[in-house]
């Protein structure tokens, strides 16, 4: 199955603007204006890189549940409604778990800058465009809307499972490595279910 990646983002204050803002924070993890502390040691450099990964994963996990404010105004079939509700609940739990991990591990940060400002702005511009498809009342509806929504979740899971896979190889702390391995298994399981749904309902009609 050939699935095109669609990165999503957001901005403003009309329903369209709110949609854009949520979609940006949701999948792109634009980061905050807190720079990682520089360090001269190899272990410090690895931790700085890992904290970028943890921050990106956390920002997405924290943002995705906010999609309920978009989806509550869109007509969805029962299966898709259950799927998206389950996804948002999973990410809500993931964000909470990461907050607990950070509280127990002072070296772990969830507020690192995750990408250059120019890339953040570029993705926001893409998100403003894509938000038109998801906006309540004026956005896409029916089969087209459902397919784009499932693809958005699918693409997020695909990026996240690769991110976590790279982090596992670099994470020296056994407890954090176990968390990442568990998370990778969960992300891959959910991605597999979405791939099956895409094939069954949206790409093989």
Residue 39 lies in a domain: yes
Residue 1 lies in a domain: no
Residue 9 lies in a domain: no
Residue 5 lies in a domain: no
Measured CA to CA in angstroms, residue 14 lies from 18, 99, 135, 145, 178 at distances of: 6, 31, 10, 20, 43
Give the orientation angle of helix 142-170 with respect to helix 117-134, to 10 degrees. Answer: 150
DSSP state of 200: I
- Can you give the pLDDT at residue 135? 56
Q: Do 36 and 44 touch, CB atoms closer than 8 A?
A: no
Query: Domain range for residue 197?
Result: 15-202
- Can you give the pLDDT at residue 12? 35
Task: Please count the helices (runs of H) and the strands (runs of E) in the chain.
Answer: 7, 0
Give the pLDDT means over successive 10-residue stretches in the chain (205 positions): 38 43 50 43 83 93 79 67 89 96 93 84 73 56 74 90 96 96 97 91 68
* Of residues 109, 140, 126, the one with CA closest to residue 26: 126
105 in helix, strand or coil?
Answer: coil
Q: Do 78 and 40 touch, CB atoms closer than 8 A?
A: no
CATH, residue 36: 1.20.1260.10
- Can you give the pLDDT at residue 40? 40
Residue 57 lies in a domain: yes
Q: What total number of domains does the chain contain?
A: 1
- Can you give the pLDDT at residue 7? 37
Write down the residue that tokens 């948002």 correspond to.
88
Residue 10 lies in a domain: no
Whole-structure pTM value: 0.75
Task: Return left, alpha or beta for 183; rule: phi > 0 is left, psi -120 to 50 is alpha, else beta.
Answer: alpha
Residue 4 lies in a domain: no
Structural tokens at position 154:
């699918």
Residue 121 lies in a domain: yes
């Amino acid at each position: 199955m050939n699935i095109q990646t669609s990165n999503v983002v957001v901005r403003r204050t009309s329903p369209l603007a709110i949609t854009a803002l949520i979609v940006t924070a949701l999948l792109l993890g634009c980061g905050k204006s807190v720079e990682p502390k520089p360090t001269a040691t190899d272990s410090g450099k690895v931790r700085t890189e890992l904290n970028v990964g943890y921050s990106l994963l956390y920002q997405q996990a924290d943002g995705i549940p906010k999609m309920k404010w978009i989806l509550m105004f869109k007509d969805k079939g029962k299966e898709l409604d259950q799927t998206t509700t389950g996804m948002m609940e999973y990410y809500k739990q993931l964000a909470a778990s990461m907050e607990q991990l950070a509280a127990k591990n002072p070296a772990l940060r969830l507020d690192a800058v995750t990408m250059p400002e120019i890339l953040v702005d570029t993705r926001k511009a893409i998100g403003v465009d894509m938000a038109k498809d998801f906006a309540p009342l004026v956005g896409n509806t029916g089969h087209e809307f459902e397919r784009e929504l499932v693809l958005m979740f699918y693409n997020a899971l695909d990026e996240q499972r690769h991110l976590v896979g790279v982090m596992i190889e670099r994470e020296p702390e056994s407890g954090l490595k176990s968390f990442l391995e568990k998370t990778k298994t969960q992300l891959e399981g959910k991605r597999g279910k979405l791939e099956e749904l895409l094939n069954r309902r949206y790409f093989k009609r």
